[in-house]
Structure 1
Amino acid sequence: MTVIRRLSPPWIRWCAIALLGGTLAACSQKPPAADWALNAESASDRATQAYLRADQRVQALEWDKARAEVRRTASPQLLARLALMRCAVEHASLQWNECGEYQLLAIDADPQEQAYARYLQAQPLSAQQIALLPETQQPVARALANGEGAALAAVKAVSAPLSRLLAASVVLRAQGPSPALLVAAVDTAAAQGWRRPLLAWLLLAASQARQAGDMENAQRLERRVRVLEGQAPSAPASDLAAAGR
């Protein structure tokens, strides 16, 4: 279950079909998870890791496997949960979208998923809806109403790297970019060696630095992009446009 420890929360814990943010202790007190649940958890983990390292072929294949396993239950609620998991992974890498796959299933989604979907879109949440979010995201959701400093502190307090990137993405969407938020996200992705989110956050940070007139920092960030892309650090700046594709 080390995979579950690494990715949760806010990622799905397929053990005992616990909703986003359940505890591993509960798993040991319940019957063994069904094969489909174990297979779906394993496939979704592989899909997530492939996505983070920008392996498009593998991530698509593994998401298909996870979806096929969940379909064995004939449960639209569980399919909605899986779709929301995938959407959250993408948002952590600044691939903002409307979670279209989830929206097709939203009518059958449980209240927890409905609240989580609103959170991913940085939409206002009531106190009751915030209480339905994964535990580590609740302080971030509450802090959004208390200004940039409070939100940044809440993001930094999230211990799991992927959860921290997701929290940073939500704050970015709700409040706009700040240098400290971008640094926190870049450092988080870089420490894990996650190519896809690191590239997205580096490109955004470089763009923001240029807009602010901080050319030294912008050029430093652009050199990091070139290294990540396997280019010489002194490559022409025009090459950065291709890096973001």
Structure 2
Amino acid sequence: MKMSAVFIALLLAGCASKPAPPSWQPDAKDALDAFADDYLRGSTGAANANFARARRETASTGRADLVAQVELVRCAVLAASLEFDDCPGFAALSSDALPQQRAYAAYLAGRWEGLDVAALPEQHRPVVGTGSIAGMTDPLAKLVAAGALFKAGRMSPGDMQVATEMASSQGWRRPLLMWLGVAQKRAEAGGDMVAVERIKRRIALASGQN
């Protein structure tokens, strides 16, 4: 899986120029791609190892903004999986991060009051205004936006279903199980036991229990 260009734009800023870019740039990109794919598929150990490699390669530059971008990748992938930990790695670097990076971190954390929407990646700007992931085409960006909407308390039932099926179509077990868990709770709250049992069967299948 290729990471969205939103996440790696800073890391690859010099890759198109000649002479060839320094080795840390493609190495960091490859590690970030692998981290995202492993994490979304549920391979936590491999994901952690690849993230550590990406951070190590980027930290060799001594540039806080580049390392902050790597940390934002992690935050975004967790948000896509409905997992939120306040992004401690980014928080430690936030004073030296770019304004655009701080805006994106706030967006992921659901802190949308006073958010500088213009500073967000272009494909995420409409999400704040519309409260919807409709129109987004990149699978990972769409799930990241869904996670941000969920965290902000603005997620619609329709978009929940879209996010669930997007995770399913990509074979991303971790976010799929999280979104199915949300759907199960909604069905239970609504007393729809037929839906609850259907969702439970799907959860069992996705988690390898059947």
TM bucket (normalised to shorter chain) is: over 0.9
Given candidates 121, 126, 129, the residue that maps to 1:142 is 129
The 5 A counterparts of 1:1-245 are 6-13=2-9, 14-16=11-13, 28=16, 30-31=17-18, 32-124=20-112, 126=114, 129-143=116-130, 151-152=131-132, 155-232=133-210
Q: Shift of residue 176 of structure 1?
A: 4.8
Aligned-pair CA distance for 1:126: 4.5
1:115 touches 1:133 (CA, 8 Å); kept in 2?
yes
SS at match of 1:16: coil
Q: Distance in 2 between matches of 1:165 and 1:9?
A: 15
Say if 1:186 and 1:202, in contact at 8 Å, map to a contact too. Answer: yes
In 2, the alpha carbon distance for the partners of 1:204 and 1:57 equals 25
Normalising by structure 2, report the TM-score: 0.93
SS at structure 1 position matched to 2:209: coil
Match of 2:6, SS state, is coil
Offset at 1:125? Answer: 5.2
Amino acid at match of 2:192: D
Size of the aligned set, in residue pairs, is 208
Which structure: larger Rg?
A: 1
- Unaligned residue ranges in structure 1 (runs of 5+): 18-26, 144-150, 233-245
1:121–1:133 Cα change, 3 Å: same
Deviation at 1:178, TM superposition (A): 3.5
| Residues 82, 175 of structure 2: 8 Å contact kept | yes
Q: Please, what TM-score do these two structures have when normalized by structure 1? A: 0.80
Pairwise CA RMSD of aligned residues? 1.7
Determine the C-alpha separation between the residues in 2 that align with 1:82 and 1:107.
15
Any conservation in 1 of the 2:173–2:207 contact (CA below 8 Å)? no
Q: Out of 48-57 and 8-17, give the one that drifted further.
A: 8-17
| C-alpha displacement of 1:57 | 1.2
- TM-aligned CA distance change 1:214 to 1:178, over 3 Å: farther
Note closer, same or farther for the CA distance 1:89–1:126 as it changes in structure 2 (3 Å cut).
Answer: same
Aligned partners of 1:9, 1:157: CA distance in 2, in Å? 17
Return closer, same or farther for 1:176/1:213 CA change in 2, 3 Å cut-off.
farther
